[in-house]
Chain A
């Protein structure tokens, strides 16, 4: 916890050889014992990438089964395990750790801090994650199979009708939650206490702002998730009746508690993306971000509103019309601050000197495709039509547009944007462009037709479907395989970059880049800002 700057060495800490009093440890133990925010950021990002590939492999199983109507490759029970674990891994194993990894790498460099505030806790919060996912993936191999009740684990599916792997599922979610909470506490403490002198709140880069708000969301709702999985555990194994109507409970209560966590959770997965896009768009438009303050307020209002919209996931549970109206209107109000953000990004590009480097390509794709996902979200918010859309592929199309072309594209944009800063080398640009265009085309082939089959009535989470959906599903599956394979290009590219292949880059890397992280050398030295920079 000692973060007091080492003044004796401060003077020469920025000229490229500041590891003279801290040797970078070598070998495996460097990574196990590390408390360095950059090492931990790297660990998080690699872990997220591996989980992205594992969860993606499960999606490939799903799409292979759905390539044709009828059952041909997997049993329905295994299919359900695939949809469940795919969701859990992508949410808790890919998107969230990737954002935490970016936070670790970037927040200290962006606010001029030498490290995260709580480096040892940082180490813990990463290293319990592999165990959580080992337990979750291991549950697939126990008798009766892994969790098959969907990532939302609705009672009574998860209490009365689930297998004994449920206990493993509950424990792994507990560990993931503890990891996220520790990570979030670390982010808040770092931002509150370790900003360089002069780095006032309203001077912080938007990525830092969005992460600060995200961290508060995590602190507020991850404990609720921990509570609800605990209730599932005791209902299943210890005879309580939280969700069992026979014992005086109510299964609908599960949905209320789950979505009280679940809706802020979806903003946890998108607010840091807003921050990333707000860094990239001004850089390649060579303008300052349009409406910085409104971006901050919009982010905060989205976060606050996220606590009062949870029941829009539950319109078909039989709510009174008054409640349906409330949740419908509250949900639609969220479109206002989100619209402010999209407007500001477009206004930032307006009359800018735009250049289309790879991070910018991903950022522009994000703005367009995330907006499509946002619009289908608005459609889902309308109570009368939600009765038709509920639990169809339309919902699947909606949340994949906001999470894949939203969150995942923003993470890729972030990796391309900051990778040269991390490695000191420019990545393979033709390969990166190939990755972008392959991903862009295939992801739309994958998710856009899902809108149509959903509106036509194809339910989600089923291994088989009516014949009239066959053609669309074939194309969706082809898009899915192509998108999956496209990510291997990304893997090759990142490995090449980590092996220090490519041209050396300057400290600013991109010529419109502004901010503290672009003023330190590339690659970023192991220790940065041991003496706080002065910001006027």
Chain B
């Protein structure tokens, strides 16, 4: 039983060597705990830091298919007539959002650098006023970096009174830098009902506005 030939630890029996002098170094648990707590706090913060980091990362790489939410300025650039890019438009409303929402133009075929103008139709069939927000999503996501919108309804909130309808414009051009392998992409808009989260002022503005 006590054949210890293979013992990785060849130690003296504790009873035979009482070793009264305490050999353990003076312990400073507090210091170690403090360091570890710093790591804990740091990682808690890191969890939240991932939110802006993700946005920045996506802005740079376009991996989440979200185009810029800022209006671009059209610079007269060379139109690359050698390429034709097909862009499909898809619309959907979030669950619980009662508006009708359709793309007037379902598909465009344009050259990179060429301006294109499309419009989306919305109607509020309900008996209450609703403020909407459209969120774009592009697939494949990489294309999001190369679409430049000079005007888009998605840049701001869209209020619509009960029973009203409207045409919402969107003007864009495709950056000629678009990678060669992308010849087709889909731009989808999802419409969200944000009336509850909208500012008080916005609701008042909607109520007093004479919008169509």
Binding site for B on A (CB under 8 A): 1, 3-5, 7, 10-11, 13-15, 117-118, 181, 185, 188-189, 192-194, 196-199, 203, 219-228, 231, 239, 242, 245-247, 250, 252-253, 256-257, 260-261, 286-288, 292, 318-320, 323, 506, 508, 511-512, 514-516, 519, 529, 531-536
Is the pair A11, B4 in contact by a Cβ cutoff of 8 Å?
no
Quick one: closest B residue to A3, CB to CB? B27
Residues facing A in B138-169 (CB within 8 A) are 139-142
Is the pair B8, A531 in contact by a Cβ cutoff of 8 Å?
no
Give chain B residues whose Cβ lies under 8 Å from the Cβ of A117: 27, 29, 32
**What does the 1/0 interface line of B1-44 toward A look like (CB < 8 Å)?**
11010111111111101111111100111101100110111111
Knowing A7-B20, A519-B14, A531-B18, say if A223 contacts B47 (CB, 8 Å).
Answer: yes
Residue tally, chain B, CB below 8 Å to A = 59
**How many cross-chain pairs have Cβ atoms below 8 Å apart between A and B?**
171
Is the pair B43, A223 in contact by a Cβ cutoff of 8 Å?
yes
A3 and B133 CA atoms in complex are apart in Å by 61
Binding site for A on B (CB under 8 A): 1-2, 4, 6-15, 17-24, 27-30, 32-33, 36-37, 39-44, 46-48, 50-51, 54, 58, 61, 63-66, 94, 133, 135, 139-142, 190, 192-194, 197
Is the pair B39, A197 in contact by a Cβ cutoff of 8 Å?
no
Knowing A226-B44, A245-B190, A531-B19, say if A14 contacts B14 (CB, 8 Å).
Answer: yes
Quick one: closest A residue to B41, CB to CB? A223
Is the pair A220, B43 in contact by a Cβ cutoff of 8 Å?
yes
- 8 chain-A/chain-B pairs, Cβ below 8 angstroms: A4-B27, A7-B21, A203-B8, A222-B43, A246-B94, A257-B47, A506-B1, A514-B7
Counting chain A CB atoms within 10 Å of each CB, which of B29, B41, B66 scores highest?
B29
Knowing A318-B65, A536-B11, say if A192 contacts B44 (CB, 8 Å).
Answer: no
In whole Å, how far is B152's beta carbon from the nearest beta carbon of chain A? 15
Is the pair B47, A226 in contact by a Cβ cutoff of 8 Å?
yes
In whole Å, how far is B44's beta carbon from the nearest beta carbon of chain A? 4
Is the pair B9, A246 in contact by a Cβ cutoff of 8 Å?
no
Is the pair B33, A532 in contact by a Cβ cutoff of 8 Å?
no
A253 and B41 CA atoms in complex are apart in Å by 21
Give chain B residues whose Cβ lies under 8 Å from the Cβ of A287: 6
Contact of B15 among A14, A219, A261 (CB under 8 A): A14
Is the pair B12, A193 in contact by a Cβ cutoff of 8 Å?
no
Counting chain A CB atoms within 10 Å of each CB, which of B46, B65, B142 scores highest?
B46
Quick one: closest A residue to B134, CB to CB? A246
Knowing A14-B14, A189-B29, A223-B41, say if A532 contacts B135 (CB, 8 Å).
Answer: no
Give chain A residues whose Cβ lies under 8 Å from the Cβ of B4: 514
Is the pair A188, B139 in contact by a Cβ cutoff of 8 Å?
no
Is the pair A514, B48 in contact by a Cβ cutoff of 8 Å?
no
Quick one: closest B residue to A509, CB to CB? B1
Give chain A residues whose Cβ lies under 8 Å from the Cβ of B33: 118, 185, 189
A514 and B7 CA atoms in complex are apart in Å by 6
Give chain B residues whose Cβ lies under 8 Å from the Cβ of A256: 50, 54
In whole Å, how far is B29's beta carbon from the nearest beta carbon of chain A? 5
Is the pair A224, B43 in contact by a Cβ cutoff of 8 Å?
yes
Is the pair B29, A118 in contact by a Cβ cutoff of 8 Å?
yes
A189 and B27 CA atoms in complex are apart in Å by 10
Quick one: closest A residue to B49, CB to CB? A227
Quick one: closest A residue to B7, CB to CB? A514
A429 and B56 CA atoms in complex are apart in Å by 60
Quick one: closest B residue to A161, CB to CB? B95
Is the pair B24, A194 in contact by a Cβ cutoff of 8 Å?
yes
A257 and B24 CA atoms in complex are apart in Å by 42
Give chain A residues whose Cβ lies under 8 Å from the Cβ of B48: 227, 231
Is the pair A197, B24 in contact by a Cβ cutoff of 8 Å?
yes
Give chain B residues whose Cβ lies under 8 Å from the Cβ of A531: 14, 18-20, 22
Is the pair A533, B12 in contact by a Cβ cutoff of 8 Å?
yes
Is the pair A203, B46 in contact by a Cβ cutoff of 8 Å?
no
Is the pair B47, A250 in contact by a Cβ cutoff of 8 Å?
no
Give chain B residues whose Cβ lies under 8 Å from the Cβ of A10: 18-20
Knowing A256-B54, A536-B11, say if A323 contacts B29 (CB, 8 Å).
Answer: no
Is the pair A288, B43 in contact by a Cβ cutoff of 8 Å?
no
Give chain A residues whose Cβ lies under 8 Å from the Cβ of B28: 193
Is the pair B64, A227 in contact by a Cβ cutoff of 8 Å?
no
A198 and B12 CA atoms in complex are apart in Å by 11
- Give 5 A-B pairs besides A256-B50, A320-B61, A506-B1 with Cβ atoms closer than 8 angstroms: A118-B29, A224-B50, A239-B197, A246-B192, A529-B14
| Nearest 3 Cβ contacts at the A-B interface | A227-B47, A246-B192, A223-B44
A533 and B12 CA atoms in complex are apart in Å by 7
A188 and B64 CA atoms in complex are apart in Å by 39
Counting chain A CB atoms within 10 Å of each CB, which of B4, B21, B64, B192 scores highest?
B64
Is the pair B50, A257 in contact by a Cβ cutoff of 8 Å?
yes
Give chain A residues whose Cβ lies under 8 Å from the Cβ of B194: 246-247
Is the pair A536, B12 in contact by a Cβ cutoff of 8 Å?
yes
Give chain B residues whose Cβ lies under 8 Å from the Cβ of A245: 135, 190, 192
Counting chain A CB atoms within 10 Å of each CB, which of B6, B8, B23 scores highest?
B8
A220 and B50 CA atoms in complex are apart in Å by 14
